[in-house]
């Protein structure tokens, strides 16, 4: 019997004094290469889902901003370090923390864990981009929300 049609949602918690967004996921067969190891590009998908969910949980409505013609976020820089591989059927957790907030960008630190094992760490800069493709000032109330959850 289906009791809910709501998709999984992550949540914020404090870890070592820092507001951290937690997003859990499972590795499916489609995420792996022929050896059962997660294909490197799939980690980008995992981190994107976590960042999108983090924004939603912080009441930052990207879809509404886009529909109003304000713009949307685009990843402008990313630095990733792989520490250990994930495998088919692993339960993973993506931890995301807002590190720095600018007028037109936000810097987010992300880590992917399997239990206590760090698999990947990344530094991500997302720029707010106007419909014409140029950087634009992100909405003031978004900056305020980011600052509330920033490390």
97, two tokens: 């923390």
At residue 61, the 3 state secondary structure works out as coil
Give dist(CA 105, CA 72) in Å, integer: 11
Q: Please say whether the dihedral angle defined by the alpha carbons of residues 76, 93, 6 and 143, taken in this order, is positive or negative.
A: negative
CA-CA distance, 22 to 50, in Å (whole number)?
8
Contact 80, 42 (CB under 8 A): no
Q: Known catalytic residue: 61? A: no
CB atoms inside a 10 Å sphere around CB 70: 18
Phi, psi of 130 (to 5 degrees): -70, 165
Residue with structure tokens 């050896």?
35
Q: Extract the tokens encoding 89.
A: 């059927």
Active-site residue (options: 16, 31, 33, 89): 33
Q: Which residues are catalytic?
A: 33
């Amino acid at each position: 019997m289906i009791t809910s049609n709501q998709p999984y949602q992550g949540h914020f918690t404090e870890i070592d004094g820092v507001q951290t967004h937690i997003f859990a996921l499972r590795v499916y067969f489609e995420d792996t290469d022929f050896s059962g190891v997660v294909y490197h590009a799939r980690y980008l998908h995992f981190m994107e889902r976590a960042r999108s969910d983090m924004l939603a949980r912080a009441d930052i409505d990207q879809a509404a901003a886009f529909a109003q013609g304000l713009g949307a976020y685009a990843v402008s820089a990313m630095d990733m370090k792989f520490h250990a591989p994930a495998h088919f059927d692993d339960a993973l957790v993506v931890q995301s923390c807002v590190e720095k907030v600018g007028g037109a960008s936000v810097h987010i630190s992300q880590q992917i864990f399997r239990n206590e094992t760090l698999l990947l760490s990344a530094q991500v800069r997302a720029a707010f981009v106007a419909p014409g493709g140029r950087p634009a000032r992100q909405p003031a109330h978004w900056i305020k929300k980011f600052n509330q959850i920033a490390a």
